[in-house]
Amino acid sequence: MRYLIERYCTPTFYLYQVIYIGGSVQVASLLDRNRTEHFFGPEKDVICVLDGDQAKQPHAGGNNILCIPLDSVEKALYAAFKAGDIPCATDLNSRTFHPNGKELFNELLRIGVFTRRQVFEFLCSRHENELSAFAGKLSGFLGGKVT
């Protein structure tokens, strides 16, 4: 999330905090509890962002819930790998990875094909239009403009 904000959103006057919490149900539940308890702040100042594969789930339908335009970072990376679009990862072609992409993601980081930042750069270059549009929603929430 920080990478998308840094890449696409103009610096904002207001400060923001990105908190990586866990599964989508837990994140949505925290947002619901914040509506009454305000432990993160007033409702208007808090959003949660879920993976795109959660968009049609009941917990993703509330106010202040956004979904990224990718099923998940890991799944998008897996799709690029299966398409042969990560040429420096050809040594891994003989291996079988789960389609959720988590094992592949970790392996690509472990063997130095990508850093986390490079994963995000790679995916942004592959999904520029979708991620730029999504960043517009983030920027609107943060009070800035998309660059």
146: which DSSP letter? B
- The β-bridge partners of 48 are 65
Q: 53 and 91 share a domain? A: no
Residue 20 within any structural domain of the chain = yes
Q: 64 and 77 share a domain? A: no
pLDDT on residue 89: 65
Query: Which pTM value belongs to this model?
Result: 0.85
Q: 64 and 113 share a domain? A: no
Residue 99 within any structural domain of the chain = yes
Q: 82 and 63 share a domain? A: no
Task: State the average pLDDT for the chain.
Answer: 88
pLDDT over 80 at 102, yes or no: yes
38-45 mean pLDDT: 91
Q: 79 and 58 share a domain? A: no
Residue 37 within any structural domain of the chain = yes
10: which DSSP letter? P
Which domain covers residue 17, as residue numbers? Answer: 2-68
Q: 9 and 38 share a domain? A: yes
pLDDT on residue 62: 80
The three-class DSSP label of residue 85 is: coil
Residue 129 within any structural domain of the chain = no
Residue 83 within any structural domain of the chain = yes
Residue 47 within any structural domain of the chain = yes
Residue 85 within any structural domain of the chain = yes
pLDDT on residue 2: 77
Query: Under a CB-based contact definition with an 8 Å cutoff, are residues 53 and 36 in contact?
Result: no
Number of domains in the chain: 2
Of 12-26, 47-61, 92-106, which range is least confident? 12-26
67-87 mean pLDDT: 94
Buried b (16+ CB within 10 A) or exposed e, 99-116: eebbebbeebeeeebbee
pLDDT on residue 88: 75
Q: 54 and 94 share a domain? A: no
136-142 mean pLDDT: 85
Q: 42 and 85 share a domain? A: no
Q: 77 and 56 share a domain? A: no
Q: Specify the DSSP element, H or E, that contains 66.
A: strand 65-67
